[in-house]
Each structure stands twice: as structure tokens, then as C-alpha cells.
Structure 1
């Protein structure tokens, strides 16, 4: 009644746990006890869905059990850096594209067993040209095939009982979609998918100056123009010069209170916001934990 806005749901993507807090007991304890969070986005850097069924099934059961015991909601699962490093659904070899589609189907299976209702991430990357130039548009035949695969994946996800699939736009011309217009077209073209496709907009991706030029209102344009098809947001500290994925102990151009105001102004404050940060493998874990504690406390305050 006093006009105070509702808190924005805040969680963390578990990509930072890679090669560190790799078991459900470790990451649930750390997320709950050290970071004070009860919402996460799982990363397939922690589980390879291509493991044999017996191993995948056991890990899925352990993830479900540990999250429930800790009172943690797993909102979604994202493909992780390991799978992202491949060209996936846009590889020049159709056999590799078929395998990438199969990999995603296996990811959906794991998610369903683990009680995770949504799966997503970037879809793939075109190969670079010999002269280093990059196309302004995806070849129409390649795009049509990608949409066909997305429809098949929607059917597979629906059969597994998933509620939503995600596309995460990235700041690369070789990945798709990389513009607001392309994202809108893609969402229109898969609007009848059996499991709905939605966008996860990333703060560092939408504000990448080498690709987009003046990014003063970059994030605002993405959120405002695609609010109706955006249902999750990644946040991190960045300088607009590269896709940094820094935490908020590092100086940068993202101010948490301004970010919260922007989410409310664009009507995307109903979307959960996930801190997505990555660290060098050689960085010590105590330093990372301290930085995460500071960053999460600052973001929780700003989004409350």
C-alpha cells in the first residue's frame, strides 16, 4: 500500500563452481551458508549429460535431493562453458549439428530427473571465414534448419516435462541471435514450439561496445524491446569493452541500484536475476568466496 516495489528475485549461476564445488553437497552448502541464497541456475559444467545413464541418473537424484534438503530452488540449467566452446547447432558439419541436438536432448532428460524445469544457453556459432570477415546475417537455409531443430527440441523438452527453453543472445556476429531484431524474429518463428522458447538477456553481452558501438542505453533497449519474451537475466560487472563476467568487487560500469531501477522501468523486474561470474582456475577458492559474499550482499540489497 505504501508503493514500495516488490523485491526482484536474485540467485546465482553455478558456473563459478566448475572444478571447485562440484558435488551437490558442496555447492548447496556454499550457496546457502556462505552466500545466503536460495535460488540458483545450474551449470552443465558440473554434470555432463553424455555420461552413461546410470551415472547421469544418480547425479540427477543427488542434485534433486540436496537442493530440496537445503531449501534451494533450481530455476533452470544452462549449458556451461565446456559445451559452449563447441559450435553446436551452427557447426558446418551436419553430423556435429545432429550430435549437438542429441546433447541437448540428454540435457533435458537430466534436468527433468533433477527437478529442473528449464534449460537453455547460446545455440551455436558459425565457423570463421578465411579472410576473417563476419557475415551480417545467417544464411537463410541455415536459419531455417536452426528453427526446425528448435521446434524438435521443443517437442523433446515438452515430452520430458520441461516448462521452458532459453536462448541466450551473445555479443558475437557468428552466434545467433546477436541483435534485438534477430532475437525478435527468432522468438516469432518458434512461437508455436511445444515447450516455449524465451530469452535470457545478459548484462555484459548486451553492452559490448566493440559490436554495438555506443552502449549507453544498450541494456535498456534489449530489456524494453524484448520484455514480453524475456524471463531471466544474467548480471555481472563489466566495462563494456569485453565480455568480462567480473564480480562486483571489481570496478566497472554496472551499478546495482541503477540496474534494479532499469529492470523495473522496462517491466522485466518479474524476471529472476542471476549473478553469472567466472574465475581463472588458478585463483584460490577463499578469495573467490570472499568476493562472492561481497557481491551477493551488494546485489541483494540493490534488488530488494
Structure 2
């Protein structure tokens, strides 16, 4: 049985290796990888057109030169910090929709066929209570926006859009059942919407409970609706995004084996790790290099 292809999300490059002239040779020569997922923490879709087009052309040229495939571009931490398509102010939902349309335009020019990430978050209630579902009007508005965004992405030339479920009750979806419902409500969209599931999200015990926080339900429940997987080291207690040199509860070899058994050998796996900005660059590079080796050996 074939093994999933492995790559890396460029989150570790933020504020460090910020141009493709820097990160492309690093990924290929230092990490021994040829598959990446771009983060929009490195490119702002709201840059002026000329700057954005130049950045897209640079990515296309440098990845071609170094034999790297950019599978997808994800929204990144900066944009994720906003409430995006579920902001309580409709004007800011419009801004988020415009931001994504710009992201699609950039990705198409850069030769990146997919864009994805978390969708947004409703505001917290004054009493701090977090219900089991977001309000139905917010959900229906979100689905309508996703249908419009699929039309925009299709017009830009993309092939697929991805949703990353997160372990927060104020975001959507955070359960397998919610994800299945959303997929059904998006049937017939101009482009397919699929999921990027994350090992630190599906295993978050404070939300799902010990014994129920696991990736098996996501793999089995979503199946072919999964288009990518994020791998990180974590302790199941927070969304850690540790690299693979750290001790934790994720065994990369076992994780890839589980994915194969679920019939998802064709779904790529991306190491997604974050580091404090104040950490020195040499130690970051060493940890990422060793983590990439661990992941490559797990996939061998």
C-alpha cells in the first residue's frame, strides 16, 4: 500500500525565511522535501496589485527552479486572529470575503491550485457560555458565503477549497457531524470544498474528552472529503504545534499508518510547526531539519 506524500507548511518561515528565494532552497536542500503549503503570513492578499503579482511570479519561478510543488495556500495565523466570515459585524464579514477573493487571485497567478484554512468565529457571549452550535442564522450566512466564494475561486482558476476544522465551539465545524452537514450543504458548489484535518485539533481532550479525542473518527467519518492533513507534536491538552523533536503523544509512523488504513494514502501530510519569534534562527532550522528527517523516515 502506498504511503501519503509528506511536506511542510511554511509557518516556520514567518519573520525569518520570508521570500521564495530564501525558503525554496531551504526546503529542498536542507529539509529534503519537495512539497509545501504556503501560509498567507508570508504574503498579504491586500498588498497592491503590482506587488502581489510580483510575489506570485517569484513563487512560481523559484519553486519551478528548485523542483517544489505548492499544494495549497492557507490563511495563516495573522488572518486567523480575526473572526473572519463569522464576525458579528456584517461589514467585516464582507471584508473577510474580499480578503479571500484576493487570496484566490494571488494563488492562481502563483500556480497554487488550492486555498484553505479555518472559516471564522462567532463572538463570545457576555456570560462566557459556549453552546454546542453556532446560531443557525450565522451558519446559513456562512454557507451562502462559501457558495459565493467557490464561484470566485472557480473563476480565478483554482481547483479546490479547503476548510480546517478547529477545536473551538465558537468556530465551525468542530465535530465530524458538523463537517458532514456542511459538506452536504455545499454539494453543487462551483468548486469542491474538502477538509484539512489537524492532529492537534481532533485530539484536543478538553473539548472532546479523554478516549474520544482521536483522529480515527475524523478519518473514518469524512473519508474522501479530506484533502490534506496537518501533523504536529502535541500532548492532547492544547493545540501545541510542537515540532517532532519534542516529546508528545503523536507517533509520526503510526499516524501515517492510521491514515493508510483509513484509505487516505493519496492525501498529503504537512508538518505544521510554530516557534517563538524571539527564538534564534539556527535552533529553529536545526529542529525543523531534524523533524523533516523524522517525517521522511516515517513515510519511507
Instruction: Give the TM-score of the pair, scaled to structure 2.
Output: 0.98
Question: How do 1:1-304 and structure 2 match up within 5 A?
Answer: 5-215=1-211, 218-304=214-300
Q: Aligned partners of 1:216 and 1:237: how far apart in 2?
A: 18
**Residue deviations 1:132-171, cap 9 Å, x none?**
1112112111111100000000000000010000000001
Q: Contact 1:208/1:215 (CA < 8 Å) preserved in 2?
A: no
Which stretches in structure 1 are left out of the alignment for 5+ residues? none
Query: For 1:136, what is the secondary structure of its paired residue?
Result: coil
Take 1:93 and 1:107, find their aligned partners in 2: how far apart are those partners? Answer: 21
Q: Give the structure-1-normalised TM-score.
A: 0.97
Looking at structure 1, the residues matched to 187 and 210 of structure 2 have their Cα atoms a distance apart, in angstroms, of 31
Distance, in Å, in 1 between the alignment partners of 2:251 and 2:284 is: 20
**CA–CA distance in structure 2, aligned partners of residues 8 and 90 of structure 1:** 33
Is there any run of 5+ residues in structure 2 with no aligned partner, and where?
none
Deviant stretches of 4+, over 3 Å: none
Contact kept, 8 Å, 1:43 with 1:77, in 2: the verdict is yes
